Structure 1
Amino acid sequence: MVLGTNSIVATAGEHLAGKGPLKLRYRPYTLNLKHAFNLASSSRTTTPVVLTELEYNGITGYGEASMPPYLGESHESVLKFLSRVDLSRFDDPFQMENILNYVDALEEGNKAAKASVDIALHDLVGKMMKQPWYRIWGYDASKTPVTSFTIGIDTPEVVRQKVKEAEPYKILKVKLGRDTDKQMIETIREVTDKPLCVDVNQGWKDRQFALDMAHWLKEKGVVFLEQPMPKEQLDDMAWVTERSPIPTIGDEAVQRLGDVLKAHKVYSGINIKLMKCTGMREAHEMLTLARALDMKVMIGCMTETSCAISAAAQLAPMTDWADLDGALLISNDVYKGTAVVDGKVILSSGPGIGVVKI
């Protein structure tokens, strides 16, 4: 059973004894990728992030904003937005709805920046309650799925190397969307017969081509197809979904809660990412709505530290698939939290989002 705000406050009990202002701190950081991250239309070796801390009566919650290029956010935009956030007006972290509504209303967009506050607030409140969020939401930690490991677009030699490095993982996520798509899959099939999922990042424009590829991919052991066509091509995408032999998942097309209903019957399911939807509060709402619509649910990530990954992982027990490898792709993580053991997402029993600094 999901606890409401009143139940949360009652459960917290003695932890609410003190009153004081919420103090927000933040700093820019750059993640270094182990390999170049090649997509249908871009390539990069770093990702800018902003790390946040929210302190109340000596307890600190951790948060993060990750800004891959397509989101349109940057160090500069996030720092500018956070400089406008005045949480000193709130003296009770359990006023989560009021706090997050205030942050969301400051400006349009800035979704990753808002997520950095949301995550830190959830971590803080969970620590005050001395419980992880998956327990507060009533989820069974043993029911987390395995996570996929991402294989970016690259030369056959590098692809084979990446597949070997991904040996512990039970399912591989393959980036497609260029004229080398079949070569990518065939190269991987030379070295492994593991199940695959593919992410086209809107790279296919023709619906008949997309459907033909869906049939070919099914024969190659692909279990679902993520964002094959541009998000604007709703009619074409619905046509593909109706005929596809494998489920279709909306990613770029499904950003926030209002997009879930629009995606119904256009896609088989949705990919929820905290950096798209402003954080854990809205991600939880999106999950609930998608389940009510009988849609498949995937919990995904950007290139992130273990902070944001651990926050997203709190939802993992209620999802069909997880793509939570973002921290595994970087060489300079600054937190320890959710782990991957033999390919399976293992939630920390620590309170809040379950992370500690390293």
Structure 2
Amino acid sequence: MDISLKKYILPLKHTFSISRESHDFQNSLIVGLTLNEKTGFGEATSNPYYKITVESMMAEINAVSHEIKNFNFTTPEVFHAFLVAKGLSNFAICALDLAAHDLYGKLLGKPLYKIWNTTIDSYPTTNYTIGIASIDKMVAKMKETPWPIYKIKLGTDDDVAIVKELRKHSDAIFRIDANCAWTAKETIYNAPLLKELGVEFLEQPLKADDWKGMEEVMHHSVLPVIADESCIVETDVEKCGLHFSGINIKLTKCGGLTPALRMIKKGKEMGLKVMVGCMTESTVGISAIAQLLPQLDYVDMDGALLLKEDIADGVIIKNDATVIFPSLGGSGVTLR
């Protein structure tokens, strides 16, 4: 199995700010796995919060590239277990796992959602993210991209006032993501005010390890709360069940589609709402997320929509938020 690694610097349409950081571009690793004249593509982006760079991922993968080339590829699940045994980071494993799934589907000539026995007759609508900025800039972004659901990044001293102002300019559903910036007291206080403003749920308002605070929020918040930074890997799902209404699974954080499928199953068994989110990936990563759509309650797969220029073709998200799935097998990805 041949392997290729390439770093891309993805420029963003606008400066993207959350409660802890801002950036104008996203560094991304694209992995290609080739077997029997078919190539599958996978992606993982760098992330300062988790101390992951493209260079660190490439170094990890290069260290085992000879073994990958000699690996007898049968299924993505067997390949994933091999990668875990090699001790790679979840981000590096994600890029390889996504490539393996894309390759597997292309070898079979079937999109992944069909391999998983699901149908795309109905699926949740992705939100479109509005990063922290001045109110004028946030309103301008909404007007530039009219959308049925917005995820609004917060974590300022005037969060409720911001939502009040944004509500004047849109009838869309709002979702709020504070990225760990609130306390339990703030969350409980803000929730009824935000509910009146048409907010559907709150995402990760508290610090990832504030389990006591989240227990308090679960008992007193009038809005559902979805775990993000508190739900990284498979073993986190059960703990989140006692402290959150739902989980947001990130492929890069958990290590790809293989563990994500198990997390979705576990979350549903526990009665949790299940969401999959993105990390501002290109269409390579977004197309992988899209294959999971029939299994999800919510989705945040707007990463490629936030880019000035994309690097791949695959799943297309139209201006009315509907999704066009490629006929190509796997995730349906081709690089431009």
Shorter chain as denominator, the TM-score bin is over 0.9
1:279 corresponding residue in structure 2: 256
Cα distance in 1 for partners of 2:160, 2:12 equals: 25
Cα distance in 2 for partners of 1:88, 1:53 equals: 12
Query: Where in structure 2 are there 5+ consecutive unaligned residues?
Result: none
Query: CA offset at residue 193 of structure 1?
Result: 1.9
Aligned with 2:81 (options 94, 101, 121): 101
Q: Secondary structure, in 3 states, of the residue corresponding to 2:278?
A: coil
1:166 corresponding residue in structure 2: 145
Query: CA offset at residue 346 of structure 1?
Result: 3.5
Cα distance in 2 for partners of 1:324, 1:251 equals: 14
Query: CA offset at residue 339 of structure 1?
Result: 1.8
Provide, for residues 183-205 of structure 1, a one-character-per-residue CA deviation record: whole Å limited to 9, x for no partner: 32122112112110010100012
Query: Where in structure 1 are there 5+ consecutive unaligned residues?
Result: 1-21
1:240 corresponding residue in structure 2: 217
Provide, for residues 70-99 of structure 1, a one-character-per-residue CA deviation record: whole Å limited to 9, x for no partner: 1211022011111022212323x2243332
Would the aligned equivalents of 1:171 and 1:197 in 2 still touch at CA under 8 Å?
yes
Cα distance in 2 for partners of 1:249, 1:43 equals: 23
Query: CA offset at residue 245 of structure 1?
Result: 1.6
Aligned with 2:125 (options 142, 146, 157): 146
Query: CA offset at residue 350 of structure 1?
Result: 2.1
Query: CA offset at residue 179 of structure 1?
Result: 1.0
RMSD: 1.2
Would the aligned equivalents of 1:65 and 1:112 in 2 still touch at CA under 8 Å?
yes
Q: Percent identity?
A: 36
**1:42 is aligned to 2:5:** no
**1:203 is aligned to 2:215:** no
4+ runs of 1 displaced by more than 6 Å? none
Provide, for residues 96-124 of structure 1, a one-character-per-residue CA deviation record: whole Å limited to 9, x for no partner: 3332112122226x221111100000000
Provide, for residues 246-305 of structure 1, a one-character-per-residue CA deviation record: whole Å limited to 9, x for no partner: 211000010111110110120000001111111010111100100010100111101111
**1:64 is aligned to 2:43:** yes
Alignment of 1:303-318 (within 5 A): 303-318=280-295
1:183 corresponding residue in structure 2: 161
Cα distance in 2 for partners of 1:47, 1:290 equals: 30
Cα distance in 2 for partners of 1:266, 1:63 equals: 32
* Letter of the 2:132 counterpart: I
Aligned with 1:129 (options 94, 108, 120): 108
Provide, for residues 141-190 of structure 1, a one-character-per-residue CA deviation record: whole Å limited to 9, x for no partner: 122111100000001111111010221x2100000111131232122112
Would the aligned equivalents of 2:40 and 2:333 in 1 still touch at CA under 8 Å?
no
1:227 corresponding residue in structure 2: 204
**1:88 is aligned to 2:88:** no
